[in-house]
Chain A
Amino acid sequence: MGDAPDFNQIVADHGALISRIALSYERDAATRQDLVQQIFLAIWQALPGFRGEASLKTFVARIAHNRSISHVAKRAREPRTTELPEMLAADQPNPEDSANQSREHRLLVEATQSLPLPQREVIVLILEGFSYAEIGGILDIPQNALSLRLGRAKAALKSMLEQRK
């Protein structure tokens, strides 16, 4: 096998993915920053053992999810409910569209953060664009179990979004 993948390239390619996964598990900005750093550290330490059995993206996503779940389980207190920052204004000519999109994004993130952990994992990976096969590989669950979990997660997310509207 060749050299371990370049760490800086991984951060450049998948840093946003890691940041979004951390956001789905930690609401407080300062604590989330720590969590993101811990995820980067775990990836850096795990890189020499990467053998290419799956794509780098799935490798990174699996570590990010597991590290985040460990963080949630070890959290000393209930998470502080801080206001999420609005999305940076997209380059849109219509400020009303931009504000609506920003509000919708915030509602989506809050609803995702409220899901039970097993369902949250699945929904976040779907939102990140992973295929069913990739999600099954990351979570190590068979396809029929994944379909059932995703069905429940979608129903829960829909209910949360409707409550917040």
Chain B
Amino acid sequence: MTDLDLERLGDLWRKEPDPEEIRELLRSANAARRRAQRALLFDYVYAAAMVIAVAIVVVLSPELDTLIAGGGAIFVLVMSQLRQRRFRRVELQGFTGDTATMLDQSIARAQALVKRSRISLIAMAPATLAGILFGLALDDRGGGGLFTGDAEEPWLKMLAIAIGVIVLPAMVAHLLLTIRRGQRELARLIEVREAYRRERESSESG
């Protein structure tokens, strides 16, 4: 039985790319880079717009609850941005490191995502209740009538109904889907990680 001629197979594998293929690769690579640059720019512009919007609301209505709500919104925005940057940095470190470490990091991220989604799902009920109570408090301060249909701004009642009937169920469905996808991805990552671990162990014992 003849041995595998890797040199010949290598020549077959590394077919010389034609110039058009290289040009297409360059176009594709630069398209990917421009998209990433635009996404980064959008992140900065969005963050700046949010900060400006909150600042305007606070200036126009300099009350304690507005300040607290505005501060909370900026805090959530900053934490979200920091988390995204940390996520991208860690993911990039994984791609430039060894495969086993990259898989371990991916598994940790998938586990964290499933856990966060579960917590969000569980927290939705009390958060919704808190939102309703807050709405009732605001309504009471504004003279009442929102939930009886006597409010001067009936569109607020429509908004409240839309949130209750459309937005909240959609958020629940999205979280359930995220958890399910996350669990599947986690299972596949663990399977791949196990394949590498078995390969390493058999190489070390061989």
Which residues in A have some Cβ–Cβ distance to B below 8 Å?
A: 7-8, 11-12, 15-16, 18-20, 33, 36-38, 40-42, 44-46, 49, 59, 62-63, 65-67, 69-70, 72-76, 87-88, 90, 101, 104-105, 108-109, 116-119, 121, 126-129, 139-141, 144-146, 148-149, 154, 157-158, 161
> CA–CA, A67 to B102, complex, Å?
9
Cβ of A40 and Cβ of B33 under 8 Å apart? Answer: yes
Nearest to B17 among chain A residues (CB) is A16
- Classify the secondary structure of B's interface with A: helix
Scan residues 90-142 of chain B and give those whose CB is less than 8 A from a CB of chain A.
92, 94-100, 102-103, 106
List of A residues within 8 angstroms of B153 by Cβ: none
Q: Which of B26, B92, B103, B199 contacts A45 (CB 8 A)?
A: B92
> CA–CA, A63 to B28, complex, Å?
17
Cβ of A154 and Cβ of B4 under 8 Å apart? Answer: yes
B160: shortest Cβ distance to chain A, in Å? 36
The verdict on A108 contacting B13 (CB below 8 Å), with A11-B26, A67-B95 known, is yes
Cβ of B30 within 8 Å of any chain A Cβ, yes or no, is yes
The stretch among B44-52, B64-72, B165-173, B188-196 that forms the contact with chain A is: B188-196
11 A–B pairs (Cβ distance < 8 Å), ordered by A:
A7-B33, A11-B29, A16-B14, A19-B25, A42-B95, A65-B99, A69-B99, A73-B188, A76-B181, A105-B15, A117-B196
List of B residues within 8 angstroms of A41 by Cβ: 32-33, 36
Cβ of B12 within 8 Å of any chain A Cβ, yes or no, is yes
> CA–CA, A59 to B82, complex, Å?
27
Nearest to B27 among chain A residues (CB) is A11
A31: shortest Cβ distance to chain B, in Å? 14
Cβ of B31 within 8 Å of any chain A Cβ, yes or no, is yes
Q: Which of B10, B15, B103, B181 contacts A69 (CB 8 A)?
A: B103
We find that the number of chain B residues with CB closer than 8 angstroms to chain A is: 49
List of A residues within 8 angstroms of B96 by Cβ: 46, 49, 59, 62-63, 66
Cβ of A148 and Cβ of B202 under 8 Å apart? Answer: yes
Cβ of B83 within 8 Å of any chain A Cβ, yes or no, is no
Task: Name the 4 nearest CB pairs between A and B, nearest first.
Answer: A15-B25, A140-B98, A145-B203, A118-B199
B170: shortest Cβ distance to chain A, in Å? 21
Q: Which of B4, B29, B98, B192 contacts A157 (CB 8 A)?
A: B4
Q: Which of A37, A127, A145 contacts B31 (CB 8 A)?
A: A37
List of A residues within 8 angstroms of B17 by Cβ: 15-16, 19
Q: Which of B13, B29, B33, B191 contacts A105 (CB 8 A)?
A: B13
Cβ of A44 and Cβ of B203 under 8 Å apart? Answer: no
Cβ of B60 within 8 Å of any chain A Cβ, yes or no, is no
Cβ of B92 and Cβ of A38 under 8 Å apart? Answer: no
Cβ of B92 and Cβ of A42 under 8 Å apart? Answer: yes
Cβ of B204 within 8 Å of any chain A Cβ, yes or no, is yes
List of A residues within 8 angstroms of B63 by Cβ: none
List of B residues within 8 angstroms of A127 by Cβ: 6, 9-10, 13-14
> CA–CA, A144 to B31, complex, Å?
42
Most buried by B among A15, A46, A148, A154: A15
Cβ of B14 and Cβ of A73 under 8 Å apart? Answer: no
Cβ of B174 within 8 Å of any chain A Cβ, yes or no, is no
